[in-house]
Amino acid sequence: MRAHRLLIVTLIAACGGRATTAPQPLRPAAIDGMLAKLSPRQKVAQLVVPWLGGNYMALDDSAFQIATRWVDTLEVGGIIISVGSPYDIAAKLNVLQRRSKLPLLISADLEWGAAMRVVGATAFPYIMAAGATGDERDAYTYGRIAAIEGRAVGIHVNFAPDADVNNNPLNPIINTRSFGEDPHAVARLVRAYVRGLQDNGMLATLKHFPGHGDTDADSHLGLPTIRADYARLDSVELVPFRAGIDAGASVVMSAHIAFPALTGDTPATLSAAMLTGVLRDSLKFKGLVVTDALQMGAIVAKYGAGEAAVRAFEAGSDLLLMPADPDSAIASMLQALASGRITQARLDASVRRMLEIKRGLGLFGRRTVPLDSIARIVGSKVSQDVADGIAQRAVTLVRDTTGIVSRLRANRSRMAIIAYGDELNSYVGQRMLELMRAGGDTVGFFRLWPMSGAASYDSARVVINRAPTVVFAMNVRPIAAKGAIALPDSLARLITVTDSLKPAVLVSLGSPYLLNQTPTVKSYLIAWSGVRPAERAAARALLGWSPIRGKLPIRIPPAYPIGAGLVVSDSTLPPLKPPARVIIP
């Protein structure tokens, strides 16, 4: 595969922005000798990938001791790393890499950039923003910068891009994680994202195979079902996966979703018909197949940690991601091997793929990263400016029936910003507020949360009543195991009532489907994400500092098709006269 030919010469992350001479690659024949020397237990362990937090841990911290046991005793083949600072992640992984007999394959979810897991790295809007620009160069850039920054801290595999076609507005977990709704447009952007990653030394993962877009349930909680025949699957869901495979994607992640036409009531992760029949045989995929997290509700509750691992491997998976209990997963796999349930040849094939991936990445020559290069690479101004540019081009004005947005762009105003986000996004609206004030607007501000009660809503109304114009900055985003992506009903009512009485703009910093709950609002602007570049892009759009040119990559039923979006280049309308003072009940 293309990624295997890249080796490490493109690894800018190891050298502060300059390409380095790669270490001498391990010869392919050496893999045969290495495989022959591994015991059955060591072979099985090469396929197990447990989860590790990226936060700081002392070497004698109990959590870090568990991780060292995975490496020293279990001899796992890889780690999926989670949120932490660049130095904490890199230093921790360096320690584990030095302890491991074989190099560890390190993976992470970096869907919208390394900042998704690496604090301080470059944050892009969720990838549906690239769908809104429609530019393959933007999708390539997502991959390129994620690869450069991720490799700088020791990450080799990005569990992205999301190749799902988001054709169900009620989907509770995909939403803006997808490029959009048109399978061929999604395919173009998936292909570009894959190349952006793999041209820069990081492996791409197509997920969630064979497609998680047309679901109304979250697989973190239960088993979603897509009741479509193979013809529909082939013409919609599989289109982006074919494109990604053609672009050279090295990894495919399975979905915990049932397709009764092919899998019965069995999740695709545990279905040989799907992983072997469709993925391997029909789509001719030759790389690594990784499960989605085996601790998720759709799997572990029914099958248990050990049996889930064995069934996933039988179905065609190579890597067993985040088993609820790594020890149990390894023991169950060994028992299945001893009983003949799985064969030695099948095990060797998966382990060989894993070793070849590590060889292709150059990990047998260099497995650690230099800490002194991190600050020159991760979150650099050059990368941040690129993210700002994409965020700005993605801003989409769906509706402005009374010209409120155009008037705000033409003149400095007095307004209220009412922000909303989950507790993990404690700064939602703050960057908009700072930039709007810096631009000359007089702005009152109040922030609401999912747990906000009547007193908080009363305080919000006080702020609203003091201002002639209101901007609602709403960050409603996909959150694992939440079960829905929606505004609280009380907040949807507040937006609707306010909009009926005074000029208001609804700004989505996340899900594009907020009109489903607020269908009468007169002005609706989408910035696709709550990250700093997206918030600043929304503010710049309202200040009139940049054009608005994004187009919807999804439908917003019933009125707005794919491709809808008002283009605003200049502010030409006269100043907005403040209305008579209206009290919001």
Q: Could you list the active site residues?
A: 220, 292
Tokens matching residue 242: 């074919």
Closest C-alpha to 218, from 168, 277, 157:
168
Q: HSE, CB side, 13 Å, CA atoms: give it for residue 352.
A: 14
Tokens matching residue 413: 């105003």
- Is residue 76 helix, strand or coil? coil
Tokens matching residue 261: 């036409």
Per residue, the 3-state secondary structure of 355-402, as one string, reads: HHHHHHCCCCCCCCCCHHHHHHHCCCHHHHHHHHHHHHHHCEEEEECC
Closest C-alpha to 168, from 479, 516, 527:
516
How far, in Å, are 71, 218, 264, 268 from residue 225 at the CA level? Answer: 37, 10, 10, 10
Place of tokens 């270490």: 23
Tell me phi and psi for residue 523, to 5 degrees.
-135, 125
Residues 6+ apart with CB under 8 A from 177: 111, 126, 127, 128, 162, 164, 166, 478
Cα dihedral: 557, 559, 564, 570 (round 10): -130
- Is residue 77 helix, strand or coil? coil
Angle, CA of 167, 122 and 393, to the nearest 5°: 55
Residue pair 277/219 in contact by the 8 Å Cβ criterion: no
Beta pairing partners, 504: 470
Report d(CA 394, CA 41) in Å as an integer.
49
Could you check whether the bond before residue 488 is cis, i.e. omega within 30 degrees of 0? no
Report d(CA 438, CA 488) in Å as an integer.
31
Tokens matching residue 354: 């894993």
How far, in Å, are 14, 24, 152, 212, 248 from residue 201 at the CA level? Answer: 11, 16, 11, 27, 13
Closest C-alpha to 172, from 555, 490, 511, 398:
511
Cα dihedral: 523, 526, 530, 536 (round 10): -80
Residues 6+ apart with CB under 8 A from 473: 417, 418, 419, 420, 428, 429, 432, 507, 509, 535, 538
Measured on CA atoms in the order 382, 107, 296, 169, is the torsion positive or negative? positive
Place of tokens 């360096």: 94
